[in-house]
Amino acid sequence: MAVYALVDCNNFYVSCERVFNPALEGKPVIVMSNNDGCAVARSAEAKIIGVDMAAPAFKLRHLVESHGLVMLSSNYALYGDMSERVMSVLATFSPGAEVYSIDECFLDLDGLPVDDLTAWSQQIRATVRRWTGIPVSVGIGSTKTLAKLANRLAKKSKKANGALDLTGNPKWVEAALKQTPVGDVWGIGRQYAAHCGVNGICTAYDLTLQSDGWIKKTMGAVGLRTVMELRGTPVHTLDTAPSDRQTTCCSRSFGEAVEGFDQVRDAVVTFASRAAEKIRGQGLVAGALQVFAYTDRFRPDQPQFSLNSLIRLSPPTSSTPHIIGAALRGLETSWRDGYGYKKAGVILVDLVRPEDIPRDLFSQPQDAGVKPKALMAAVDGINSKLGKGAVGYGFAPKDAPWQMRCDNRTPSYTTSWDELPVVKA
């Protein structure tokens, strides 16, 4: 029988912040999205005082006064580094590990010499906590979807104490399914949950009783796979070597809406060069690019407009000047004056490894004069040594109105020499 564990960090971003600032322990704390827009991580105390996931920050400010809510800007350099530490600890517990997201990891337990899975889970929790400072929960099931479901219950139940194994007895699975609202199942989002509700399907258990035909019709092939997994048939296997990305996006909401072409252009140059850096880091080249910009959808009183254009890159490239040039051509052709643009971005698509590029009869060797590969390697090398943005293209002043807001960011404690935590005697 297949056995999967899902290890999930509790309130991950908040937990990372607490490792370096223990004074946040016991307090209601949230971490906000980019641009300080809304809550993306909440401590248990913040959940208790009624902070919802994705609650807009401006609706939470009053809780700072009334309940001592601490609102932090997100610090992805810190979370990414802490994530790597947690994952490296987890890898010591099983040869089969799939890093599923920044704060989650599936482990394949099939064939591991473990007889008490609950005790083993508690050992994982203790080890990760001691070595990284991060609290985690562990759920175990015969499919990935059931491991997810077990993990959710492990977090909720006091008795479980952060670890729940559903593999010992089919009755445990049935009980777990019955106490899980259908909308909390992995793979059932808002739309499908609403559809289920209308049809009197309230729990995960109810969902397993529906006919395959009905499930396929209302939730498609993906929904059917989810239900098979709830019934105990493994469909999703462990993916330990994730394949290359197909797309990469760099986009931001602006701190404030901007009307001028020049400002949107500066932003697009910045996004294009970030996106190019990203794919170079993965050893990929892009066959095309999309550039987009749109107005503030939360202001229906203002004129709305959305521009989007697709530019082919032939031959496929990861060179920053080529990608910036294409993005600007796209922006110019679809640009319209007279709108307050609130967000823009660049998406690199049709990503491939250079050796997999199909031969093109007519394409010319790229850039006869300067070798873009050497140039880009030099640029990336300097930035890696001296810090992000040491050299680059375009003009992106720190005070440009389109730069994102980020008023309360903690230091990059673990990834920047200048920001190491200091211990005072």
Partner DNA sequence: TCTGGGGTCCTAGGACCC
How many other C-beta atoms lie within 10 A of the C-beta of residue 350?
Answer: 15
Site for DNA in 267-286 (CB under 7 A): 278
Residue in 273, 279, 281 with CA at minimum distance from that of residue 381: 281
Is there binding between residue 232 and DNA (CB under 7 A)? no
Site for DNA in 9-38 (CB under 7 A): 33-35, 37-38
Q: How far is the CB of 249 from DNA (least distance, A)?
A: 3
Is there binding between residue 404 and DNA (CB under 7 A)? yes
Q: Are 106 and 97 in contact (CB under 8 A)?
A: yes
The sign of the CA dihedral 267, 268, 273, 274 is positive
Nearer to DNA by Cβ, of 37 and 392: the residue is 37
Is there binding between residue 241 and DNA (CB under 7 A)? no
Tell me the site size for DNA, rule CB under 7 A: 46
Nearer to DNA by Cβ, of 36 and 45: the residue is 36
Nearer to DNA by Cβ, of 242 and 369: the residue is 242
Is there binding between residue 222 and DNA (CB under 7 A)? yes
Please identify which residue in 45, 98, 103, 229 interacts with DNA, judged by CB under 7 A.
Answer: 103
Q: Are 32 and 42 in contact (CB under 8 A)?
A: no
CA 338-343-347 angle, 5° bins: 120
Please identify which residue in 49, 57, 77, 202 interacts with DNA, judged by CB under 7 A.
Answer: 57
Is there binding between residue 402 and DNA (CB under 7 A)? no
Residue type, 315: P
Nearer to DNA by Cβ, of 109 and 293: the residue is 293
CA gap 88, 132 in Å, rounded: 10
| Backbone Cα Rg of the chain | 24
Nearer to DNA by Cβ, of 25 and 356: the residue is 356
Nearer to DNA by Cβ, of 221 and 422: the residue is 221
Nearer to DNA by Cβ, of 38 and 78: the residue is 38
Is there binding between residue 220 and DNA (CB under 7 A)? yes
CA gap 345, 291 in Å, rounded: 6
First to last CA, the chain: 54
Q: How far is the CB of 198 from DNA (least distance, A)?
A: 13
Q: How far is the CB of 420 from DNA (least distance, A)?
A: 27
Residue type, 107: L
Please identify which residue in 192, 339, 341, 402 interacts with DNA, judged by CB under 7 A.
Answer: 192
Please identify which residue in 26, 44, 52, 54 interacts with DNA, judged by CB under 7 A.
Answer: 54
CA gap 239, 229 in Å, rounded: 16
Please identify which residue in 248, 273, 295, 317 interacts with DNA, judged by CB under 7 A.
Answer: 248
Q: Following DSSP, what letter does each residue of 36-99 receive, concatenated?
A: G-BEEEE-HHHHHTTPPTT-BGGGTHHHHHHH--EEE---HHHHHHHHHHHHHHHHTT-S-EEE
Q: How far is the CB of 91 from DNA (least distance, A)?
A: 18
Is there binding between residue 104 and DNA (CB under 7 A)? yes
Q: In the numeric block, which tokens belong to residue 248? A: 């990469």
Say which residues have a Cβ less than 8 Å from residue 305's Cβ, sequence separation at least 6. 294, 295, 336, 339
Q: Are 115 and 7 in contact (CB under 8 A)?
A: no
Nearer to DNA by Cβ, of 123 and 263: the residue is 263
Is there binding between residue 156 and DNA (CB under 7 A)? no
CA gap 299, 168 in Å, rounded: 54
CA gap 121, 44 in Å, rounded: 22
Q: In the numeric block, which tokens belong to residue 398? A: 């720190």
Q: How far is the CB of 99 from DNA (least distance, A)?
A: 10
Q: Strand pairing partners for 292?
A: 308, 345
Using DSSP, state whether 78 is helix, strand or coil.
Answer: helix
Please identify which residue in 94, 137, 251, 403 interacts with DNA, judged by CB under 7 A.
Answer: 251
Check whether the bond before 315 is cis (ω within 30° of 0). yes
Nearer to DNA by Cβ, of 104 and 108: the residue is 104
Site for DNA in 348-387 (CB under 7 A): none
Instruction: List interacting residues with DNA (CB under 7 A).
Output: 33-35, 37-38, 40, 54, 56-58, 100-104, 148, 185-193, 220-222, 245-253, 278, 296, 298-299, 310, 343, 345, 347, 404
